[in-house]
Amino acid sequence: MTHLLIIEANTPDLPPAVRAFQDVFSVIDPSVTFTVVAPYEAAAQAQDFDGVNAVIFTGSGVAWSTDDARAAAQRDAMTLAFETGLPAWGSCNGMQLAATVLGGTVGSSPNGLEVGVARNTQLTDAGKMHPMFAGRSQTFAVPCIHRDEVQSLPAGATLLAGNDHSPIQAFAYTHDGVDFWGTQYHPELRPTQIADFIRNKDGIFAEHVELIGDLNAAETDPTAAARIGTTQDALRHDIRTLELANWLAHVKDRTLQ
């Protein structure tokens, strides 16, 4: 049995981001169990990582970047995670957090918001060989919603995927006991969940209300999927969540070592 610790990156006033991961991994492997720590409510402690096989850092809807003083509790949690040597995953804010902690830089994308799907994301040569992308086509599109991006990689990180909007869409870092995989996009989210973020009139993504209809229909309507830059097949659970399934296989391999 695999036990995952999920680090919640939303503040208590925002909907929990952990639910999407719990839903996805419950389908990939129903035997997986979870513990949740929310550093914006109570600081992570070393003992939170006891009995854990791996750690997930979720995306976030907070207004600040991962290098902001207000994100200190999240950075502390990731530092603790890296000190354990456990495999770690980060989606969106989680990948940005890893870049910040490991010495890279993060900032608002000069291309503005990337909302809907990460169109025409392409694997690098390293990405084609990396186990995160086993079974993934060279070019793909997956649900995505973000303002900030990783703008320079930590020294020693491996760039795995990018697109015209955000050249760093995925990276891995395996040095000094750290075992991290991350994506800028959200393999854990369905397009309907991206639509929910846009529907928040107080959020920074509300200007993209024109996407809501197609996001809600994309899994069943090929023309709607095409309009947002993807396909029905790409949004099937087993394809959309491929990186997470590959990461879980990696976690299980590490557990057996």
- Catalytic residue ranges: 92, 186, 188
Triad 119, 211, 98: Cα angle to 5°: 50
Distance from C-alpha of 22 to C-alpha of 193, rounded to nearest angstrom: 14
Is the Cβ–Cβ distance between 185 and 168 less than 8 Å? no
**Which residue has tokens 């995160």?**
132
Q: Which is it for strands 143-146 and 179-183: parallel, antiparallel or unpaired?
A: unpaired
Cβ neighbors of 235 (< 8 A, separation 6 or more) are 143, 190, 191, 218, 219, 225
- According to DSSP, the residues that pair with 152 across neighbouring strands are 105
Residue 5, phi then psi, degrees to nearest 5: -95, 125
Cβ atoms within 10 Å, residue 146:
25
Render 43-106 in DSSP notation, one character per residue.
Answer: ---GGGGTT-SEEEE-----SS-TTSGGGHHHHHHHHHHHHHT-EEEEETHHHHHHHHHHT-EE
Helices (H), 88-211: 93-102, 125-129, 191-199
